[in-house]
Amino acid sequence: MHAYRSHTCADLTKANVGETVRLSGWVHRVRDHGGLLFIDLRDHYGITQVMADPDSPVFAEIEKVRSEWCIRIDGNVMARDESLVNPKIPTGEIEVFIRDIEVLGAAEELPLMVFGDQEYPEETRLKYRYLDLRREKLQRNMKLRSDVVASMRKRMWDTGFREFQTPIITSSSPEGARDFLIPSRLHPGKFYALPQAPQQFKQLIMVSGYDKYFQIAPCFRDEDPRADRSPTDFYQLDLEMSFVEQQDVFDTIQPVLTGVFEEFGGGRKVDQTWEQISYRDAALWYGTDKPDLRNPIKMQVVSDHFRDSGFAIFAKLLETEGTEIRAIPAPSGGSRKFCDRMNAFAQKEGLPGMGYIFWRKQSADSIAQERGITVKEVNALIKSGEITLGEEAAGPLAKNIGPERTEAIRQQLGLQVGDAAFFLGGKPKAFEGVAGKARTVIGDELGLTDQDRFAFAWIVDFPIYERDEDSGKIDFEHNPFSMPQGGMAALEGNPEEILGYQYDLACNGYELVSGAIRNHRPEIMFKAFEIAGYGKEEVEKRFGGMVNAFQYGAPPHGGCAAGIDRIVMLLADEANIREVIMFPMNQRAEDLMMGAPNDPMNEQLRELSLRVVLPD
């Protein structure tokens, strides 16, 4: 028999009854039933119940066993009594009577329990990650991650792509985040960098004549952490193709991701048609360039209804150029209680509040006030049929702008009695973020968001440039390597109107994919950087390898990169990306388990010709 096991802890069934077997694993839990000891023995594959009574030759040794000890047992497979069968696990029809036991690794008192669903502080979980990873949810998430990556690889190969690897140690290349620098021992005072992405290398692969490329690429960025972003490193499905247009990239990646979400999405609906929404429309309708389309709410501009109105705050605000008022429809949100909750939300976001209107059935009180008669007289007129209760707008805004304007707003937004609308105003960039969050909260609280769906949308037509309001300087708003729509001719016009062939894929409120058709023409690239204030010499210095390569017959090319960590996070239904990364950093970019970052030894610093100067 094998030294450690004849079967895994998920293998044994009723067909094995009577056999002598050997199992190895961890003690998941121990139960003492008055002289009968039951152990749930766990390995990577499953759980088997093993047991012993005082007749077992090793009963005294089994009594010493505690949670998370690693043991090997030999025993006989026995059928459970029908009333004791556990249908929830594959081995639920049998148990193993222990004849021999070997302790392979005893465990000290545990800083966190593996059995059960107890909550522990994240710092504890990350410090003892090897224990945390034994827990059922983490085991499930890491298996899912591995299976998703395997599925992606197979689908890419089946689509005719080959996998190539690009360097991990390279030169620094500003791509939107801080680099991790590596000092060179052989070249004192000089540094390598870890790649933020394989951006330049994958383009060079196209220049080298390889028609299609992909890899599961590690990327390194020194970024501030978020729930959906690691502060140090992440993985992406990276791909690039030659002789393609934007739609070719969409048509390539869509079936790959659709297949992955259908395979691992647990039966949730997966959109088959992916909308294409311009960046400007996404900001207007959703307040973000990564909209959650499971929520049907679309914001609209309603400035004209407030211009020169009785609501002085909005009317005066609209006198400033570049300002507007937007409405967030809230179907079924037409109650003062809900409106007050949303007002409190806005205040938590740092605003004085959010204007609102809600529509309700007319009351006898409001008609009495309107007509200057008593409520009793109104009720009599209602009873006689001379008055029919209609609808009315309520809330501070409605009183200020009057019934004609509120009715026009209702008609524009397509709202009914029982609905509401919320309003924010100013320069769009100043309030879009809060408006987007408010839209999300409204959709969630009113039950409008379809939780059983993966909703995808391509966000396209990103502006290449933006103007700093204070300095008036033009700089890149998005990827500087994107081909401008219209080529060189477009660069002769207003920089703020130039759009790029750049695109993101949004799913359920997260950015999953980013990519572009690349600017492969040196003269267009130099001109694009010149507009943002970067001279030819600086471009050649920063991106010399790629610029030089483009002098030698570069093909038109484009591609994209899909964030594997976020994809798995969505499939696993997790809100935090650290739940799907094997060994993540904490929110301060620290590895509590390995003690990184740590102080280098003096010998290491001397060898690298470095000296540490700490800030005062």
Higher-confidence residue: 174 or 244? 244
Q: How confident is the model at residue 75 (pLDDT cuts 50, 70, 90)?
A: very high
Say if residue 47's pLDDT is above 70: yes
Q: b/e for 289-305, b at 16 or more Cβ within 10 A?
A: bbbbbbbebbbbebeeb
Kindly compute the dihedral angle of the four CA atoms of residues 69, 70, 75, 81, in this order, to the nearest 10 degrees.
60
**pLDDT band at residue 539, thresholds of 50, 70 and 90?**
confident
pLDDT above 80 for 379? no
Residue 487 has pLDDT above 70, yes or no: yes
The angle that helices 136-158 and 246-264 make with each other, rounded to 10 degrees, is 140
6: pLDDT strictly greater than 80: yes
377 pLDDT above the threshold of 90: no
Using omega within 30 degrees of 0 as the cis cutoff, is the peptide bond preceding 121 cis? no
pTM: 0.92
Average pLDDT, the chain: 93
Mean pLDDT of 261-287: 97
- Hey, what amino acid is at 305? H
Q: 27 — phi, psi (to 5°)? A: -75, 105
Residues 429 and 27: their CA atoms lie apart, in Å, by: 56
